[in-house]
Chains A and B, each alone.
Chain A
Amino acid sequence: MSASASIFQSSIAKKYWMAISGLFLMIFLLQHFAINFLSVISPDLFNEVSHFMGTNPLVQFGLQPVLMFGVIYHLAMGIRLDMQNRAARPTKYAYEKPGESSTWMSRNMIITGLTIFAFLGLHFYDFWIPEITTKYVAGDISGLNAHGEYRYFEELVHKMSDPIRVGIYCVSFVLLALHLMHGFQSAFQSIGARVGKYKNLIIGLGKAYAIAVPAGFIVIALFHLITH
């Protein structure tokens, strides 16, 4: 086995990349949450930060493509690993009690993961596609509406005024929480770090992250639904 081949092809190496892309997406999610939370405490600040993120060339043409790649890689590798794992047991058991030895979250990452990806479709339809169309198709990078004010906050509030949309968002965040509940500590296990004195810390941090971040997104969505 050559070293270059093993870094990408061995079963463990695939898990490294799955973990690294997952950790990257969790860092992204945290900054996304932080910016969204500004919309609750200060619409003006939210507008300014949104405009910066939407127009800064480093963010737009440097980080955004990396993020896109990260999402697609994590999804594609997740599907590929799941297919390999299913193939490793061609004959199923007649009777199984999986709940005796593992959590539902850990066994159903493909289900929660694919649901989150489906949600991303709606999320892109709501925000990303209109944003890209305005900026790069219509060529308007001013970030202003017809009244000469920043448009980001009013667009957010407009989308979050639909109870059905908010409902779908909230359900997706619950599935995201389930995905993260296993994913956070699993990523550290895959890179060999969930051990010894760090084990309980990582498990604790993972649970806190998996509950706090999706719950925070739900609070933001409900806040705008109720107050506007």
Chain B
Amino acid sequence: MSNMNLTLKIWRQNGPDDKGKMVEYKVSDISEHMSFLEMMDVLNEQLIAKGEDPVAFDHDCREGICGMCSMFINGEAHGPDRAITTCQLHMRTFNDGDTIYIEPWRAKAFPVIKDLMVDRSAFDRIQHAGGYISVNTSGNTQDANALPIAKAAADEAMDAATCIGCGACVATCKNSSAMLFVGAKVSQYALLPQGQVEAAERVKNMVEQMDLEGFGNCTNTGACEVECPKGISLENIARMNRELFKSMVAG
């Protein structure tokens, strides 16, 4: 395939209080081997050369691990491909002459900082509310292998723990619900013996914080698990629902 000429419609917003609007840009000679973020870099170099303000977007590792890149591309979180982050999205997914819509995650709990960057600190506050275990690490930690864990439980916990907290679940959910994220974070401890001690308090506190942040309610549409770059399953939400029920019954 020859290189592509593309029309980009990008959300531009100067700051949290700015109204913001979609602005059209043209980029040309985009290689199919570029990642989506590299294409954005090309655009920003163009804008800087013209003395314009480059488009602000979050990015860090650019290898699908850090959870920083976001972007709602052509109506889907992390774009049209599956099980990838925006940095892993390649331009070969698009065709010459395409128009690409690029928007920030939309949620009341994720306010726009600038352009395509949103404030995802609501996720941090949910983690602070209970997404940890209390361990004394002052030189006398026990050997990890001293505690037997079933392979199946370890695998499932690891599957849940692969959540990178990017927020695609919230962005893609029609209700801006954070249930997949919180479900994964609750599950990764609920499945392991180390998580049992604080299990009841953890799920109650994390759900309470999630509600306080203004995320919507889960209606089980399943859109989150489809768009999740790490393939986090809806079963984690069901597990969280069970965990919360257990914590309520137990007091």
Chain A interface residues toward B at CB < 8 A = 1, 3, 6-7, 10-16, 81, 84-85, 87-98, 100-103, 106-107, 109, 182, 185-186, 189-196, 199
Contact = CB atoms under 8 A, between A and B. Distances in A.
Given A88-B175, A88-B177, A97-B76, A15 B106 contact: no
Given A3-B251, A106-B221, A95 B108 contact: no
B126 interface: no
B115 to A, nearest CB: 14
B9 A101 contact: no
A178 to B, nearest CB: 14
A190 B216 CA distance: 15
Given A96-B75, A98-B174, A189-B238, A88 B226 contact: no
16 contacts: A11-B211, A11-B217, A13-B248, A91-B106, A94-B103, A95-B75, A95-B103, A98-B174, A100-B226, A101-B172, A106-B221, A109-B219, A186-B220, A189-B234, A190-B241, A191-B245
Contact of B219 (A101, A106, A191): A106
A193 B217 CA distance: 18
B76 A101 contact: yes
Contacts of B223: 98, 101-102
The 10 closest A-B pairs by CB, nearest first: A88-B216, A97-B75, A192-B242, A85-B175, A101-B226, A101-B223, A102-B221, A192-B241, A106-B221, A95-B101
Interface stretch (B32-40, B43-51, B131-139, B202-210): B202-210
Contacts of B221: 101-103, 106-107, 182
B64 to A, nearest CB: 19
Contact of A11 (B72, B172, B218, B248): B218
Interface in B169-197: 172, 174-177
B15 interface: no
